Each structure stands twice: as structure tokens, then as C-alpha cells.
Amino acid sequence: LLYLAFVLIRGHFSNFSPYPFLDVPGLGLKKVTINCLGMALFFYLIAAMYIWFANKIVNRK
């Protein structure tokens, strides 16, 4: 989250975004927020699947 804040603040002052999905002037704040929430959901689901598989392996023994 800190890196996301850094990229957004730096992009605001330098008018350059290293990631096209975080380009607030080009996409708008609403679209960038949706992109960030989508990525957060994706990583949450990956972590949940990892934990679920790990528990299945541990409980199988």
C-alpha cells in the first residue's frame, strides 16, 4: 500500500506513471480506484487459495 501511495503521489507531481493502469490523468480517479481494488481482490483470492491448499495438505496427513 505504501508503494501504491508513492507511485500515485509521484505520478501526480511528475506527470508520469510507470504503470498504465495507475495513470490518473489518462484514466480518471474512479477507474484507477477500480483497478487497485481489482488487484487487491485478485491477490486476496490467491492468498486464500494458497492457505486453503496448505490446510488441505496438512490435514491430509
Q: Per-residue DSSP letters for the chain? A: -HHHHHHHHHHHHHS--SSGGG-HHHH-HHHHHHHHHHHHHHHHHHHHHHHHHHHHHHHH-
Q: Tens digits of per-residue pLDDT, 1-59? A: 899 999 999 999 998 999 999 999 999 999 999 999 999 999 999 999 999 999 998 88
Euclidean distance between CA atoms 61 and 47, whole angstroms = 22
Q: What is the pTM of this model?
A: 0.77
pLDDT tens-digit series, residues 24-38: 999 999 999 999 999
pLDDT at 61: 63
